[in-house]
Chain A
Amino acid sequence: MKSDVIIIGGGLMGSSTALQLAMRGIDCTVVEKQSPGRHASGVNAGGLRQLNRNPAEIPLTVEAAKMWRNIESLVDSDCDARFPGQLRVAENSNDLDLLEQRASMVHSLGYAHEEMIGREELYRLVPALAPHCLGALTCREDGYARPFHALTAFRNKARSLGVEYRINTIVDAVERESGLWRVTTRKGEFQAPVLVNCAGAWAGHIAASLGEPAPLKPGAPMIMVTERLPHFIDPVIGAASRKLSFKQMQNGTLLIGGAHMASLDFRKETSDIKWPKLAMSARSVMALFPQLKDVRIVRTWAGIEAFTPDNLPVICKSSTAEDAYHAFGFSAHGFQLSPLIGRIIAELIVDGKSGFPIEPFNITRFRPLQEGYQ
């Protein structure tokens, strides 16, 4: 089968890229080894967070936030997005110092989306919070959406513009021959002049077959969800010195994440919940919201993600192969960036360059590492 572009991976990055290319009239085929959203794209915590990102990501996250505000015009669905703000609370003076340093660093870069708030404003925003907190760093524009719904919307829009999805299609080999990429799968061969690698936790294998291995480490961040409760909190809560992300979803359930990892069998694609780590998340919740002690947890899960050594993504043109592009390694914080990533890759393919500062995300940054290993 022939098209202009083959995208490996039908998750959010792949679907966003397919959508942006299709909007520019380019014929794409998406090859997905399972079903779209089986792992990170479908089961992440859905955070739309600009707060507390690596400075290199700030220009991207700010632009992505604008796109989310207006997401319906892009994908014909609001993706159930809400923007009640996100905040990181300070529980002691040390926390407060850290957050204040962070705020002034962001301001010095010329951005105003992150802001320090005092005790009074914090309790006005989150009256349910335990009384010991001193203040918080907040981004009032932040929020969350429902990841599987967002992915479905991206995929449906891409398909409506002619993008072809091949699901349950495992890639066996990627080769370049006389100006064409040839992707061999168990369900036939696909050919296109351009290749995009959005294969998530499996993207390292694809990059390696292009001669530029990326030191990806798969991980499975655990999430738990509770029974439905009457609405009692709006913003998404994190804490300066705890691994915690806490929010009340549209339907009243509480979604509790904290980047604690499940034990993962990457080959079988299964994970086992690590209860000792999840118990820590529960203790964090109890410290900030002791009134929730009798709330029942009804589900826990962990989706497979790919982490890079510096926890920054890879977004670039291949340094070794012609007409190949990468977007992977988002290290458990790619959801918010996803609408923009498609745009950047489409710009790279169509215009040969992107208007966004993506140098920090070049795959070549891992070269010294690999040489070190060798």
Chain B
Amino acid sequence: MKDQYQLVIIGAGPAGLAAATVAADHGVEVALLDEQPAPGGQVFRAIEAAPVERAEKLGPEYRRGEKLVTTFRNSSARYFPDTQVWSLSAQREIGVIHQQQARMISAEQVLIANGAFERPVPFPGWTLPGVMNAGAGQILFKGSGIVPSDGVVLAGSGPLLLLLAWQYLRAGVKVKAVLDTISRVNYIKALPKLPSALLVHHHITQGLRYQQTLKLAGVELHNGIRDLQAHGKESLESISYRHKGSRHRLRTDSLMIHFGITPNIHLSQAAGCEHFWHKRQQCWRPELDKWGGSSIEGILIAGDGGGIGGARTAEHAGRISAFKVLHNLGILNQRECKLEAAQDRKWMKADLRIRPFLEKLFRIPDSMLRVPHDNAIVCRCEEVTAGEIRSAIAAGHTDSNQVKFYTRCGMGPCQGRQCSQAVAHIVADKTSVPLQQSTQFRVRPPLKPLTLEQLASLYPDETE
């Protein structure tokens, strides 16, 4: 790894791969930093290694990633797998751990393409062993072919839930139930957006058709469930929920949960980029121009990290940002830049047509995001409950950072990734200050734990 590159891209999902390929093809010196051992990101994870048979079970969309990875591999972009980024400054200095060694590199242009993560929605019992994010379940399946035991229950909202249930069925796992928080209201609100959504032939619209397959296989399917809780002493033994006015209980030792995904904004926050609360997607997003440019010069963001658009949109956004980088580096003039990006813009616009429908349909009930049960743990690292957060607010600690100071909520190794949204919802609810005006946890680097020895090895010439 060199100390400096023209372009550093963080994340090797569809956005990062597409951008790296475009930039490298124009002669730019590109380094693509990736936490994973192989390119593909979450959506095309282990795509080079997955046997054809498993890839088929995962569906045709997964195959699309093969082309992206192959063209990237054939480009001159340098790929650094197993590489963690622990800091990013507005001056585009990037703290990296590569092969256990900490180092600082710098870049003329930085493209953040580190995607999204599953929205953490705390509820009583969600930290019990046996409760797992559906995304993590899919990672185990894609990466190692691991599936849960028979009798697994899937609960939450979002397209991944049905897709994963369908993928499990195809892999021969007996799925006990799929419990969806989508209510009839969501369907009614989403309906007007359906016609334009149907214009997109997308694996997500396919998801709705998965329902039929699941029903035929004898899976219990319930919509509009509320108040999900997980029970068990040492690990998960059963779950309960409300449906149509009464409480139901199911015995299971495996619960997969999913409440949609939310942009991974830690790096853009660390760099100091501006963010705003996006009401429809129920998340914070960086302020971006139409090229993916952030509020800080030389830092661009493409893919789900800039707002949820899905894999295809990420790929187009990655290329669009790459053209802008080429312009910023003086390789393309403004006219060429516009022209090159035109095709991707068109496709991206078409692909995004499905979003308003999905956002309405899979919207998480606000009542769940506020974590109504006082005994639910919100901060897993420091074991802080919703009740303790509400008491802190009542005692006069009226914004997220004061709650953090007072309760230590968000001070653990995950850096508040798991609890920041829940805390913000609770604060907004208790103080009646809308989320749009609320403060977020201030990011405190290193974004990934760094050992004392790794830090000590940096800048050896610096003396007191």
Task: List the interface of chain A (C-beta within 8 A of B).
Answer: 35, 37-38, 42-43, 148-149, 152, 155-156, 167, 225-227, 242-243, 251, 270, 272-273, 275-280, 282-283, 285-286, 292-301
CB-nearest residue of chain A to B444: A299
Partner of A299, one of B104, B399, B415: B415
Asked whether A270 lies within 8 Å of B272 as measured between CB atoms, the reply is yes
> A296-B451, A300-B445 in contact; A276/B89 too (CB < 8 A)?
no
Asked whether A293 lies within 8 Å of B452 as measured between CB atoms, the reply is yes
Q: How far is the CA of A296 from the CA of B446 in the complex (A)?
A: 10
Asked whether A272 lies within 8 Å of B90 as measured between CB atoms, the reply is yes
CB-nearest residue of chain B to A294: B451
Contact with A along B397-439 (1 / 0, CB 8 A): 1110110011010011101000000000000000000000000
Stretch with Cβ within 8 A of A (4 or more), from B230-238, B314-322, B454-462: B454-462
Asked whether B455 lies within 8 Å of A278 as measured between CB atoms, the reply is yes
Q: How far is the CA of A8 from the CA of B295 in the complex (A)?
A: 34
Interface-centre pick from A279, A286, A294 (highest chain B CB count, 10 A)? A279
CB neighbours of A297 from chain B (8 A): 446, 449-452, 455
User: Shortest distance in angstroms between A143's beta carbon and chain B's nearest beta carbon?
Assistant: 20
Asked whether A283 lies within 8 Å of B451 as measured between CB atoms, the reply is no
List of 6 A-B pairs having minimum Cβ-Cβ separation, nearest first: A296-B449, A293-B453, A282-B456, A276-B459, A282-B455, A299-B444
Asked whether A286 lies within 8 Å of B405 as measured between CB atoms, the reply is no
A282-B456, A294-B452 provided; 7 other pairs, C-beta below 8 A? A35-B398, A148-B405, A152-B395, A277-B462, A279-B456, A280-B463, A301-B444
Contact with A along B158-177 (1 / 0, CB 8 A): 00000000000000000000
Asked whether B405 lies within 8 Å of A285 as measured between CB atoms, the reply is no
* Chain B interface residue number, banded: 35 or more
User: Shortest distance in angstroms between B215's beta carbon and chain A's nearest beta carbon?
Assistant: 47
Residue B87 interfacial (CB < 8 Å): yes
What is the predominant secondary structure among interface residues of chain A facing chain B?
mixed
Residue B289 interfacial (CB < 8 Å): no
Task: List the interface of chain B (C-beta within 8 A of A).
Answer: 87, 89-90, 95, 104, 272, 395-399, 401-402, 405-406, 408, 411-413, 415, 442, 444-446, 449-453, 455-459, 462-464
Q: How far is the CA of A133 from the CA of B387 in the complex (A)?
A: 48
Asked whether A294 lies within 8 Å of B405 as measured between CB atoms, the reply is no
Q: How far is the CA of A273 from the CA of B411 in the complex (A)?
A: 17
Asked whether B445 lies within 8 Å of A296 as measured between CB atoms, the reply is no
User: Shortest distance in angstroms between A256's beta carbon and chain B's nearest beta carbon?
Assistant: 8
> A35-B399, A243-B464, A272-B90 in contact; A300/B453 too (CB < 8 A)?
no
Asked whether B455 lies within 8 Å of A42 as measured between CB atoms, the reply is no
What is the predominant secondary structure among interface residues of chain B facing chain A?
loop
Q: How far is the CA of A259 from the CA of B401 in the complex (A)?
A: 23
Asked whether B452 lies within 8 Å of A292 as measured between CB atoms, the reply is yes
> A242-B464, A243-B464 in contact; A295/B459 too (CB < 8 A)?
no
Asked whether A286 lies within 8 Å of B412 as measured between CB atoms, the reply is no
CB neighbours of B449 from chain A (8 A): 227, 296-298
Q: How far is the CA of A272 from the CA of B455 in the complex (A)?
A: 16
Q: How far is the CA of A331 from the CA of B40 in the complex (A)?
A: 51
> A227-B449, A276-B458, A298-B415 in contact; A156/B395 too (CB < 8 A)?
yes
Partner of B89, one of A272, A283, A296: A272
Partner of B87, one of A148, A273, A292: A273
CB-nearest residue of chain B to A283: B456
CB neighbours of A282 from chain B (8 A): 452-453, 455-456
Partner of B452, one of A156, A226, A270: A226
Q: How far is the CA of A299 from the CA of B381 in the complex (A)?
A: 13
CB neighbours of B455 from chain A (8 A): 275, 278-279, 282, 297
Asked whether A300 lies within 8 Å of B444 as measured between CB atoms, the reply is yes
Asked whether B464 lies within 8 Å of A275 as measured between CB atoms, the reply is no
